[in-house]
Amino acid sequence: MLEWLILPTVIAGAAMLPNKKLESWEYHTKHLYYHSWLVPIGKKRRVMYHNFEHYPHMLVGGTTRFGKTVFLKSLFASLILANPDRVRLYIIDLKGGLEFGEYESLPQVLQVADDLISACQLLDTVYKEIKEQQGRFREKGYKNISDTNIRKRTFIMVDEGAELSPKLVSKEKKKYAELAQIYLGEIARIGGGLGFRLIFATQIPYREAVPGQVKMNIVARVSFKIADQIGSRVILDEKGAEELEPIAGRAIYKLAEKHEIQCPYITDQMIGGFLHEQNRKNTDAD
């Protein structure tokens, strides 16, 4: 099974490269593969890719200012630019919509929730879609989306996921947080095979911040700098993230093995430019 790629050469070793080999780099569309779910996540010797078809969900953690949200935006840009007619995005931006709210008008973005209550409404919508998809699969005898000719994939991106924890919200909001946890757990548990992909990110790497059902059903982990071993174990199930150099974009990507990578730098202005160029090309083609 193809777990991860470093293109054009596949690197099979488990050892992490010395930090001096990792250099900062800017995101660019030349690293994309059109109509593919191979998404560039960082550089080791060459660009490293995550395959969302083989590992549909991803858990992301890291202390503020070390690149977590920038990383999410690079994933967001890659998904839209490589699959403009195939990706559907639901985004929970619990920074009050400040990071992703401006993208809500894009045709690929179905909804941006910016608080706990709207997040529950969004997750309820997604859960209903999952159950409807499950019913269609049952009728046709499908076991997995790979058995079908369905090309669209639905991504649910959660930034600041700790804001959905019942133990970290006020008493008045606890019932909404509990409902959100149930929905997130079901999305992680049954969504993958039905074409739904959960990307759950938190800057508070405490056990209470990551729903148990979510963590149990996510193999792919990305951790930026974290303060201590306890936080590292929440995201990676082992120590290591606390030992990362305090460099923005430096992260550990883990499937079966750990890989220290440098994630690409991207800004909202860059994303806007790439989207504008894509629209221009589409207009010229018409």
CB 48 within 8 A of CB 68: no
The one-letter code for the residue type at 136 is R
Enumerate residues 6+ apart whose C-beta is below 8 A from 98. none
Is 62 known as a binding-site position? yes
Known binding residue 68? Answer is yes
Q: What is the dihedral of CA 178, 210, 216, 91, to 10 degrees?
A: 80
User: What 8-state DSSP symbol labels residue 203?
Assistant: S
Q: Give one DSSP letter per residue of 175-186, joined into a string.
A: HHHHHHHHHHHH
Identity at 85, one-letter amino acid code: D
Contacts of 87 (CB under 8 A, 6+ apart): 79, 80, 108, 152, 153, 154, 155
Q: Say if CB 25 and CB 43 are below 8 A apart.
A: yes
CB 69 within 8 A of CB 157: no
Q: What Rg do the C-alpha atoms of the chain give, in angstroms?
A: 18
The kind and range of the H/E element at 74 are helix 68-82
Does the annotation place 189 within a ligand binding site? no
Identify the three-state secondary structure at position 204. coil
CA pair distance 220, 255, nearest whole angstrom: 5
Q: Check the annotation: does 153 bind a ligand.
A: no
Please provide residue 6's backbone torsions phi and psi, each rounded to the nearest 5 degrees. -120, 105
**Residue 125 is labelled as binding a ligand:** no
66 labelled binding-site residue = yes
Write out the binding residues for ATP.
62-69
Write out the binding residues.
62-69
